[in-house]
């Protein structure tokens, strides 16, 4: 027996430390371009907070990175397979228990261990309760615990702290900080401070210019 506890072996995904470099990305919502020329680099162990007013295209950008919709142009260095996406909906089944919900997502992502996810989000006591009997904040915590069982290095999170109380936000902040220490990265659209060092990216300068306006200007130039 070693005299000190061995550190837990990180899930497979963390082994592949991955830079996320986005260059000159343009993306559309409902067929209309909302963002263009977006560029940033996210290194392993770092977090990037997306800022910008409502409707600027934070969700659109995150869905594009997660591979849910194609980019209009530009390049994304990391494949969608490196990203764990979490948005407003948690993907929970009301008639399955907390443990069953989490175990399902773990199996889909080829992982086995869900104990750490239950612990980090303080869900162990609720493990056998059906998801329909959880409060909004507890559901959110379960939805975020899913990120831990994906084993993917880059977390792409859209407003993760909605309906979380202060204590739960602290739990979530600690989980993200732990993920970063393990060599993961996180891209988070949020308006609040999560309690760890992170760079910020304001999307306002990347707002797509209306095409019709351009032609109007040219005509009168």
* Contacts to other proteins by CB under 8 A: 66-70, 80-81, 83-85, 87-93, 95-96, 100, 104-105, 107-110, 146
**Least spacing, CB of residue 94 vs other proteins, in Å:** 8
Q: Cβ closer to other proteins: 104 or 196?
A: 104
Q: How far apart are CA 199 and CA 219, in angstroms?
A: 41
Q: Cβ closer to other proteins: 36 or 90?
A: 90
**Least spacing, CB of residue 18 vs other proteins, in Å:** 16
Torsion 147-68-192-181 (CA) sign: positive
**Least spacing, CB of residue 205 vs other proteins, in Å:** 25
**Least spacing, CB of residue 22 vs other proteins, in Å:** 17
Helix/strand/coil (H, E, C) string of the chain? Answer: CCCCCCCCCCCHHHHCCCCEEEEEEEEEECCEEEEEEEEEEECCCCEEEEECCCCCCHHHHHHHHCCCCCCCEEEECCCHHHEEEECCCCCCCCCCEHHHHHHHHHHHCCCCCCHHHHHHCCCHHHCCCEHHHCCHHHHHHHHHHHHHHHCCCEEEEECCCCCCCHHHHHHHHHHHHHHHHCCCEEEEECCCCCCCCCEEEECHHHECCCHHHHHHHHHHC
Q: Cβ closer to other proteins: 69 or 77?
A: 69
Q: How far apart are CA 52 and CA 149, in angstroms?
A: 30
Angle at 13 between CA 10 and CA 16, to 5 degrees: 105
**Least spacing, CB of residue 76 vs other proteins, in Å:** 14
Q: Cβ closer to other proteins: 100 or 113?
A: 100
Q: Cβ closer to other proteins: 154 or 194?
A: 154
Q: Cβ closer to other proteins: 40 or 104?
A: 104
**Least spacing, CB of residue 101 vs other proteins, in Å:** 9
């Amino acid at each position: 027996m070693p005299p000190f506890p061995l550190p837990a072996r990180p899930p497979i995904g963390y082994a592949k430390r991955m830079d996320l470099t986005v260059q000159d990305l343009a993306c559309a919502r409902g067929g209309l371009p909302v963002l263009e020329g977006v560029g940033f680099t996210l290194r392993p162990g770092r977090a990037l907070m997306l800022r910008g007013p409502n409707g600027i295209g934070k969700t659109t950008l995150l869905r594009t990175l997660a591979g849910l919709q194609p980019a209009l142009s530009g390049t994304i260095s990391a494949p969608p397979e490196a990203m764990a996406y979490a948005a407003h909906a948690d993907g929970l089944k009301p008639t399955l228990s907390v443990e069953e919900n989490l175990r399902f997502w773990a199996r889909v992502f080829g992982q086995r261990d869900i104990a750490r996810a239950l612990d980090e989000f303080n869900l162990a006591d609720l493990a056998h309760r059906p998801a329909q009997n959880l409060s909004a904040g507890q559901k959110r915590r379960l939805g975020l615990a899913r990120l831990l069982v994906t084993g993917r290095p880059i977390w792409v999170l859209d407003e993760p702290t909605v309906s979380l109380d202060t204590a739960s936000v602290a739990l979530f902040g600690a989980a993200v900080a732990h993920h970063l220490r393990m060599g993961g990265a996180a891209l988070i659209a949020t308006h609040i401070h999560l309690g760890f060092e992170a760079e910020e990216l304001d999307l306002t300068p990347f707002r797509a210019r209306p095409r019709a306006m351009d032609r109007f200007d040219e005509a009168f130039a």
